[in-house]
Structure 1
């Protein structure tokens, strides 16, 4: 099973609630905005992919040998090490639910979400300030906002600039993608020149393939240790590089405990 689909298939793909090289994606943090132009072949300027990663701890990556998914998109066989870590905490979460232990249920839910493979979307536009393409790594919900606007204004995309922005924080982060009313907010001469420069330029969807960083099980295991997970708990052996701290039987021993995970990242 491929980790990603590109172009019109990605544009039209369903956004079930459940990559790439972090260095390559354009930053779109909360409080940031871009004035952009939509590519002429805008349905080709999209990618749907799945990856793992923990913000500020482990850069995003995809499995070289992806797990087999069920109809709901969740791993059911041929589990990767990260899938196995997710299952470990999911099983503990369900046990806590059965025992009506709300505190442990919440803790294990957060931990399962850290290691779970997530569905993401990539989308490309032209940055009107620089005159170069920008590529954003966004959630399915955020992609839905963009796709709805593109479909709504499809007949006039060649003449309308847009502003893409993020506001809020955590699970309250909101992405907006709105047409710019140029009669009220005119483009600068530079922005207009960059807009016009791309009148007949089409996006090359093969560019997205370079964003995918795929690694094997051995590297995934190293990254689990880096993230603080005790891989002995899922039957694996921790790397023995010089200076590597030995694993213990405490799943929180080196990981610093649970982190906040927004609801969109969780399957439960």
Structure 2
């Protein structure tokens, strides 16, 4: 499983045991007190990007053990995982229904099923948690990463952010979820004694990006097929059985040439 770390990233599932670290939860209505260790005008540098698969509250987020091949825009072009094949199956049905003049509701339902099984781009953001005194990783969408960056950019000059403490919060639900970052103006009043000690101790300390390694659950093809079946999808529709492995996928036109439904958003993934 490949991820992109740091500047390159700018351009335990169901009881599984191959995770070395865990995300720090940032659920709606919660706030973390943090130090930001790396920032440029392009965004935070202590980050890693990945394409996560899963179904909110049904199948926990995972990445395929065998990496799909993607083009520069992130569309899968080879080595399709079972979930890529399922996604492609529904998108192609949706495009055919659209071309045949089917109702908007029917087309939308098919494309939403395609989106359900698609890998969505996510960003792991590394921060220093002032309460625990440890480096942590939170999981956000690219849009939320952009919002974090825009909140911090005013403190980039002369590396001001390195001497500051911040609150990072999440509010809202579903497509209305918003992540905000605000500075703690008065550190003496805004931090507990322990948090102040951690703040002082963490000065000039780089983020430990080894935390990114092993944080994501890697599911092999057999597990992915099991998850699809658990969701009620007939894997025989994409030429697979419970013991089969995914291949290069159907030979029909790639879905990457089509636009996806504009009213579907990936900000409601389970983190």
TM-score, normalised by the number of residues in structure 2: 0.78
Report the more deviating stretch, 27-36 or 72-81: 72-81
Measured in 2, the distance between the counterparts of 1:22 and 1:265 equals: 25
Say which SS state the counterpart of residue 111 (structure 2) adopts.
helix
For 2:141, the equivalent position in structure 1 comes to: 139
1:92 aligns with 2:93: yes
- Give the alignment of 1:39-54 within 5 angstroms: 39=37, 44-54=45-55
Which among 161, 166, 169 is matched to residue 165 of structure 1? 169
Aligned length: 238
For 2:35, the equivalent position in structure 1 comes to: 37
**Residue 148 of structure 1, CA deviation:** 3.0
Contact map agreement 2:222 2:242 (CA 8 A) in 1:
no
For 1:252, the equivalent position in structure 2 comes to: none
Say which SS state the counterpart of residue 127 (structure 2) adopts.
strand
**Residue 50 of structure 1, CA deviation:** 1.5
Measured in 2, the distance between the counterparts of 1:207 and 1:194 equals: 19
Measured in 1, the distance between the counterparts of 2:121 and 2:19 equals: 15
Measured in 1, the distance between the counterparts of 2:231 and 2:20 equals: 17
- Give the alignment of 1:216-255 within 5 angstroms: 216-238=220-242
What is the root-mean-square deviation of aligned Cα atoms in Å?
Answer: 2.7
1:175 aligns with 2:173: no
Contact map agreement 1:3 1:62 (CA 8 A) in 2:
no
Which among 108, 111, 121 is matched to residue 109 of structure 1? 111
Alpha-carbon spacing, 1:129–1:102, altered in 2? closer, same or farther (3 Å)? same
Residue by residue over 1:115-164, the C-alpha shift from the partner in whole angstroms, topping out at 9 and shown as x without a partner, is 10111111121222222222101111011122333443122122211111
Structure 1 unpaired stretches of 5+:
15-19, 241-260
1:4 aligns with 2:3: yes
- Give the alignment of 1:46-65 within 5 angstroms: 46-65=47-66
**Residue 262 of structure 1, CA deviation:** 6.9
Measured in 2, the distance between the counterparts of 1:90 and 1:63 equals: 20
Which among 24, 33, 41 is matched to residue 22 of structure 2? 24
**Residue 216 of structure 1, CA deviation:** 2.4
Residue by residue over 1:34-53, the C-alpha shift from the partner in whole angstroms, topping out at 9 and shown as x without a partner, is 11112268955211112211
